[in-house]
Chain A
């Protein structure tokens, strides 16, 4: 069984892999927020170095084109919605729907924002062990009153651990149904029901087996976590990220 999905941790020794998880979480949060406010030039200034970093660190999403089509579908819907709902100079008319030049530009910008957020999320997951995700989240939540930091961090760590399993089951269920010519059925409701119910059942069964395996090895919320220690390189990366962020917002 070879690589099944692209959304998973990939072992490596790149700068991103070695960066302290707390710095990565902080940079992920601020850059994602920056995406919402940056101008078009700012988005390009963010996106091009980000893509270069992903390629050099070998953490660029290696998601099969079959899975990317769902992201493409979402982006397409967002683009069309923006294009036809924004007032401006008409460039394309389809019945009652009129796409404006301003809407097209706005739609492209929103899609670029979503792509960048997806890229940053993928880079983070690919370069960070789930155990480190838990340790980092717990570190940030510890000073927050009334929030069960360890339990919250454990839940987030488990989500990261379970996402690849869910995507694997989606892939298997899809293949099994396509092998039995489900594509000949055009009714979307039928296809959704016949896909969704067995998928949910398989996900719960797989999760049950994984939980059993974890319990058999004494899994507990409170366990030895990874050592997280920020060095000079990590602080330098945070400072560089801050400077880059300022530039993005100013441009």
Chain B
């Protein structure tokens, strides 16, 4: 499959001089499911935020769908749907419906098209019955699904999840994981960062380790996971049964 994301020698230096990314190169094929793992401060979130132009490179290039992100930020934000770690901070609408409609409204679509996309996104995430509810009253898992619906309404080709399971209870984790897998099966490219591999490793086809703003490991999960703790990531303890046995949906 052709690469939908192409990152070449990406360097990002923050205003205080700290190097967030020290020359990252990465290609992601369309339809892939990639986990990016690493300890806090390894550069995962900094990397993700270059994919939709929230951060600009100090040097290097980031291309999504063949077009440089910096050349067309709006296009990048349409192609790449991003779910942040804190679901509450993503809520911008006063109702579930209004929150999902927020993205299509920014694209200046007609009201009929906006309504169609919102209904589709709500149906895809099982939130139709909550359309008029206030988002702050949703459970943790429902809020994450709302965040997913909000970006689905923009019809992205890549979905980026930044620590999607943080602060979720077990039912919430299952809800979100099932949603992510459903989206992957429908053809979406998934990039997911985590430092808790156990929840999602069974479903990924590629594992990338980051440390100190660089990629230091990149390959099949079952090969790389044995060395996880060298990168500050907890190695799943039940690996003896194989990576696939780790699924939280078993």
Q: Report if A1 contacts B (CB, 8 A).
A: yes
A224 lies within 8 A of B114 (CB) = yes
Look across to chain B and name the residue whose beta carbon is closest to the beta carbon of A130: B94
Whether B108 pairs with A222 at a CB distance below 8 angstroms is yes
* A220-B78 Cα distance, complex, nearest whole Å: 13
Given the contacts A8-B94, A11-B134, A129-B98, A217 and B89 also touching, CB distance less than 8 Å: no
**CB atoms of A11 and B136 under 8 A apart:** no
In contact, B84 and A213 (Cβ under 8 angstroms): yes
Most B C-beta atoms less than 10 A away, residue of A131, A218, A222: A218
Residue of A nearest to B150 (CB): A217
In the bound complex, residues from chain B placing their C-beta under 8 Å from that of A1 are: 88, 136-137
Q: How far is the CA of A243 from the CA of B54 in the complex (A)?
A: 52
Interface size range on A against B: 20 to 34
The answer to whether B102 touches A9 (Cβ under 8 A) is: no
Contact yes or no, B90 A213, CB < 8 A: yes
Query: Known contacts being A216-B54, A224-B114, is A209 close to B84, with CB within 8 Å?
Result: yes
Tell me the A181-214 residues at the B interface (CB within 8 Å).
206, 209-210, 212-214
Assembly CA distance A161 to B135 (angstroms): 13
Q: Using an 8 Å CB-CB cutoff, how does the interface string of A209-250 with B read, 1 for contact, 0 for none?
A: 110111111111011110100000000000000000000000
Q: Considering the chains assembled together, what is the distance between the CA atoms of A220 and B133 in angstroms?
A: 25
Give the residues in chain A near B92, CB-CB below 8 Å: 161, 210, 213-214, 217
B110 close to A (CB within 8 Å): yes
Task: Determine the residue in chain B with the shortest Cβ distance to A215.
Answer: B54
Q: Which of A26-61 contact B (CB under 8 A)?
A: none
- Find residues 46-80 in chain B having any chain A CB closer than 8 Å to their own CB: 52, 54, 74, 77-78
Contacts of A179 in B (CB 8 A): none
Say whether A94 faces chain B, with CB atoms less than 8 Å apart: no
B111 to chain A: which residues have CB within 8 Å? Answer: 224, 227
Nearest-Cβ distance from residue B122 to partner chain A, whole angstroms: 15
**Given A4-B136, A131-B98, A224:B110 Cβ within 8 A:** yes
Per-residue CB contact flags for chain B residues 92-117 toward chain A (1 = under 8 Å, else 0) read 10110010001111111111001000
Residues A224 and B84 in contact, CB atoms below 8 Å apart: no
- Bound state CA distance, A10 and B88, in angstroms? 18
For the complex, give the distance between the alpha carbons of A76 and B40 in Å: 50
Q: Which of B52, B94, B108 has the most CB atoms of chain A within a 10 A radius of its CB? A: B94
**Which residues of chain B have C-beta atoms less than 8 A from A209's C-beta?**
84, 86, 89
List of A residues within 8 angstroms of B110 by Cβ: 224
Chain A residue at minimal CB-CB distance from B140? A1
Chain A to chain B contacts (Cβ below 8 Å), 6 pairs:
A129-B98, A206-B89, A217-B92, A217-B150, A219-B102, A223-B108
User: Which of B's residues lie within 8 Å of A, judged by CB?
Assistant: 52, 54, 74, 77-78, 82, 84, 86, 88-92, 94-95, 98, 102-111, 114, 132-134, 136-137, 150-151, 154
Please provide the 3 A-B residue pairs with the shortest distance between their CB atoms, ordered closest to farther.
A209-B89, A218-B106, A9-B94
List chain A positions with a Cβ less than 8 A from chain B: 1-4, 8-11, 129-131, 161, 206, 209-210, 212-220, 222-225, 227
Question: Given A129-B98, A209-B84, A216-B52, 18 other A-B contacts at CB below 8 A?
Answer: A10-B134, A11-B132, A206-B89, A210-B92, A213-B84, A213-B92, A214-B92, A214-B102, A217-B92, A217-B103, A217-B154, A218-B77, A218-B78, A218-B154, A220-B106, A223-B108, A224-B109, A224-B111
